[in-house]
Amino acid sequence: MHQYSLHQKTFLSLLVLVTIGFFWVLAPFAGAVFWGVVLAILFAPVYRWLLKKTAQRHNLASLITLFLIVVIVILPLSLVAVSLANQAAHVVDLVKSGELSVGSSFTRVMAVLPQWAIGLLERFELTSLVTIEKKITAVAAQLSQVVATQALYVGSYTFDFLVSLFIMLYLLFFLMRDGHALVGRIKAAVPLSRKYKQRLFANFTTVIRATVKGNVLVAIAQGALGGLAFWFLGVQGAVLWGTLMAFLSLLPAVGAAIVWVPVAVYFLASGAIWQGVALSVFGVLVIGLVDNLLRPLLVGKDTKMPDYVVLLSTVGGMALFGLNGFVIGPVVAALFLACWDLFVTAEEFHEA
């Protein structure tokens, strides 16, 4: 067994300390750095293709790739955010004006609900309109206090967001241009044999690409289909609900249904039978089918992970890391499976 000298131990201790310090310094912009790395991995094939087309001019290829990322990713997300804010404000105005009446909708639903459903609502004290209005008023008051408290910080939040966006794009340029050399240095620094490093790094990049592409495509498809269905059926704020379905669809198997199922139940309970039936059929056969077919095909197939592992790691990752967790969770799961597979198959770990 190798014995480290005092000088080596001192240097290794210093290495650990400065590494911790470096990540501590980066912590305020961890999200920007994380998504910079993710986008660099996703668009690396595009960069390599552009590098050939630009006669190996690295700066030009990086700039063009960065421009494509802004056009394909950043601008569409910004437009959706603006439209989402407008629709949310519109829905609030409808509620204030009385066009969306909580009281009349509640009365219609309660009139047709079966007894078992009413009994379930009674347990949570949700059968009285007065009680519900009190709860809504209390929540609204709390939200108003939060908004009032945080209003002074909106400018700083906007500034932080812009700084994070700038850091992400700035980092992306250099990750594109110097990414190959950087990966080579990281591989050289990892104290593992070459075959282990190749397999683990390949798993890492494959899972990130499959997870982001797969989940994002499923989210876009389900959100767009759900939003179109709501618009066709005359539901107010179709873009708002479609965007919410897109975000919730990051949760495999159950995501988008959290939104469309209650709306279908409301339609059926309030006497809009054909709307309720149409939304239920469309939700199960179209929106649900997108999740059941595309997600295993795009995520599970490339990551070579069972569907239940993808589900558990995605949900667990989002519970721990928020939105970033839909990438971090499956990556950790894939590396876990890869490490154990290497351990089981490696002869040096099982020599007598």
What single DSSP character describes residue 53?
Answer: H
Q: Where is average pLDDT lowest: 6-10, 24-28, 57-61, 104-108?
A: 104-108
Query: What per-residue confidence (pLDDT) applies to 152?
Result: 47
Query: What per-residue confidence (pLDDT) applies to 326?
Result: 76
What is d(CA 119, CA 139) in angstroms, rounded to the nearest whole number? Answer: 24
Q: Where is average pLDDT lowest: 6-15, 82-91, 149-158?
A: 149-158
> Is the predicted pLDDT of residue 296 greater than 80, yes or no?
no
Q: Span 273-282, mean pLDDT?
A: 83
What is d(CA 349, CA 194) in angstroms, rounded to the nearest whole number? Answer: 16
> Is the predicted pLDDT of residue 175 greater than 70, yes or no?
yes
Residue whose C-alpha is closest to residue 318's, from 331, 327, 305: 327
Residues 224, 83: contact at Cβ < 8 Å? Answer: no
Decide: helix, strand or coil at residue 239: helix
Neighbour-count burial of 308, counting CB atoms closer than 10 A to its CB (0-12 exposed, 13-18 middle, 19+ buried):
exposed
- The encoded tokens of residue 59 equal 């700066």
Q: CA separation (Å) from 158 to 151, 153, 154, 164, 305?
A: 12, 9, 6, 10, 39
Query: What per-residue confidence (pLDDT) applies to 122?
Result: 61
Question: Which distant-in-sequence residues (6+ apart) come within 8 Å of 40 by Cβ?
Answer: 172, 175, 176, 179
Q: Span 239-244, mean pLDDT?
A: 78
What is d(CA 299, CA 310) in angstroms, rounded to the nearest whole number? Answer: 8
What single DSSP character describes residue 95?
Answer: H
Confidence at 313, pLDDT banded by 50, 70, 90: confident
Average model confidence (pLDDT) across the chain:
74
Domain residues of the chain, as ranges? 193-346
pLDDT digits (tens, 9 = 90+) for 186-237: 777 777 777 777 777 777 777 777 777 777 777 888 888 888 888 888 777 7
> Is the predicted pLDDT of residue 249 greater than 50, yes or no?
yes
> Is the predicted pLDDT of residue 268 greater than 80, yes or no?
no
What single DSSP character describes residue 192?
Answer: S
pLDDT digits (tens, 9 = 90+) for 29-57: 888 888 888 888 888 888 889 888 888 88
Question: Which distant-in-sequence residues (6+ apart) come within 8 Å of 37 by Cβ?
Answer: 175
What is d(CA 157, CA 299) in angstroms, rounded to the nearest whole number? Answer: 34
What single DSSP character describes residue 124?
Answer: T
- The encoded tokens of residue 108 equal 């219609």
pLDDT digits (tens, 9 = 90+) for 115-162: 655 665 666 555 555 565 566 555 545 544 544 454 444 455 566 778
Residue whose C-alpha is closest to residue 69's, from 91, 87, 42, 48: 42
Q: Where is average pLDDT lowest: 62-66, 134-138, 325-329?
A: 134-138
Could you give the angle at the alpha carbon of 140 between the alpha carbons of 135 and 144, nearest 5°?
150
Question: Which distant-in-sequence residues (6+ apart) come within 8 Å of 112 by Cβ?
Answer: 269, 270, 271
- The encoded tokens of residue 9 equal 């131990």
Residue whose C-alpha is closest to residue 212's, from 299, 129, 132, 282: 299
Would the CA dihedral through 271, 272, 278, 282 be positive or negative?
negative
